[in-house]
Amino acid sequence: MTHPGPSFSIDRLADAALRLLALFSWLLLAAFLVVVLTATHARAEDASCGGKDLLAEMAKTDPEKLADMRKEADAIENGKSILWKIEKPGVKPSWLYGTMHLTDPRVLKLSDTADTAYKSAGTVVIETDEVLDPQAPLKVMANDPQLMMFTDDTTLEKLIPQDKLEGVKAGLTAHGLSLAALNKMQPWIVSSMLAMSACEMERTKSGAAFLDIKLARDAKAEGKEVTGLETIKDQLGAMASLPLKFHVEGLIEALNLGPKLPDLFETMTILYMRGDIGMIVPLMRSVSPDGSMKGETYGDFEEKMINARNRVMTDHAAPIIDKGNVFIAVGALHLPGDKGLVTLLRGKGYTVTAQ
């Protein structure tokens, strides 16, 4: 997914949509941080995800805007499916499946075609197989603590603008958190936790697995080979390479967006279940204050968190695919666009078709 980007300064104009794109990409790691670091506590009475379909509402209140979003989504390459068949002469077909990093039962249930492909595959590949080890984040933190924590005298309290500080404290308190307990965490770690709804946290802490992890665990239990395309350190390093100010403002934005998240994730889930992943970015764009995601900061984020990772995933996936009979499951946002996995795999000579 590529978008034009002229001049831009980090302000509130496009932050909301950009932060949401970042949070969507980080929910997989957030699940482990919630469990391993035990920094947040969801209340049982808050365990209903809820949320309404924003697009259904928009169809009634602003059909013209919805039509513009649909036009934008239709222009995104490979944005109409979450399941793709990968073929190459002389090699058994493989499969590329876009996941949503949630424990929602609707997401966990594969279509009949996807289920057959998954069950018949000899190898299952996810973004990082390190997530199968509950201690993996702690190992990364032990070896490279600066990726997740401030190792000098920096604290979140020092980084948050004074005129926002009390609001942040109040927002964290509303989530059952305290700034004092999180003060040494990198801001994107806290943001990723805030992106998880109460019901997602409850399910995760009760042992429910995100789709990616469930697929890998089940495959491993059946004796299949399970491997990954990148490491947790790679993912953390990509996020850490973005400006710290960007992440601090992202934390503030995550708190501001809190009431909207159930509706947003419900709408994204509906789009995902339809295979309409090209509509996700227009949806995110629609909730930003000026309806845009643009500029140098967005371009930097898109390059480091999506495009660069797509290239790495493609390079690592190719020799695995060449063995044949592989089921690759990665975040759905990595599939569409002229720099997405579908296009990149075609560039390596594979025939990739929507199913």
Tens-digit pLDDT profile for residues 59-94: 999 999 999 999 999 999 999 999 999 999 999 999
What pLDDT band is residue 48 in, cutting at 50, 70 and 90?
Answer: low
Residue 8 in any domain: the answer is no
Residue 53 in any domain: the answer is no
Of 17-26, 71-80, 245-254, 285-294, the range with the lowest mean pLDDT is 17-26
Average pLDDT over residues 178-199: 84
Residue 300 in any domain: the answer is yes
Q: Give the span between the Cα atoms of 306 and 309, in whole angstroms.
A: 5
pLDDT at residue 2 in the model? 33
Q: Of 342 and 251, which is predicted with more confidence?
A: 342
pTM of the model: 0.84
CB environment 198-226: b (16+ within 10 A), e (fewer): bbbbbbbeeebbbbbbbbbeebeeeebeb
**Residue % of the chain over a pLDDT of 70:** 83
pLDDT at residue 298 in the model? 61
User: Residue 141 phi/psi, 5° resolution?
Assistant: -65, -35
What pLDDT band is residue 286 in, cutting at 50, 70 and 90?
Answer: confident
Say if residues 315 and 102 touch (Cβ distance below 8 Å): no
Helices of type H across the chain: 15-37, 54-61, 63-74, 105-108, 112-120, 136-143, 156-159, 162-174, 179-182, 187-194, 198-205, 211-221, 232-240, 244-256, 261-274, 280-287, 295-302, 308-321, 341-347
Q: Of 327 and 47, which is predicted with more confidence?
A: 327
The DSSP secondary-structure symbol of 303 reads: I
Residue 127 in any domain: the answer is yes
Say if residues 158 and 59 touch (Cβ distance below 8 Å): no
Residue 50 in any domain: the answer is no
Instruction: Give the number of domains in the chain.
Output: 1
Q: Give the span between the Cα atoms of 195 and 125, in whole angstroms.
A: 25
Instruction: Kindly tell me if the per-residue pLDDT of 136 is higher than 60.
Output: yes
What pLDDT band is residue 53 in, cutting at 50, 70 and 90?
Answer: very high
Say if residues 310 and 344 touch (Cβ distance below 8 Å): yes
Return the ∠ at Cα 212 (arms to 210 and 215), rounded to 5°: 105
**Residue % of the chain over a pLDDT of 90:** 49
| 331 class by beta-carbon count within 10 Å (0-12 exposed, 13-18 middle, 19+ buried) | buried
Say if residues 229 and 128 touch (Cβ distance below 8 Å): yes
Residue 142 in any domain: the answer is yes
Residue 208 in any domain: the answer is yes
The DSSP secondary-structure symbol of 100 reads: -
Of 58-62, 197-201, 331-335, the range with the lowest mean pLDDT is 197-201
Average pLDDT over residues 40-53: 58
pLDDT at residue 120 in the model? 97
Q: What is the mean pLDDT of the chain?
A: 82
Q: Give the span between the Cα atoms of 70 and 169, in whole angstroms.
A: 38
pLDDT at residue 288 in the model? 60
pLDDT at residue 337 in the model? 93
Query: For residue 185, what are the domain limits?
Result: 15-39+60-354
Listed residue (335, 69, 115, 88) closest to 211, CA to CA: 115
pLDDT at residue 10 in the model? 26
What pLDDT band is residue 14 in, cutting at 50, 70 and 90?
Answer: very low
Residue 205 in any domain: the answer is yes
Q: Give the span between the Cα atoms of 179 and 186, in whole angstroms.
A: 12
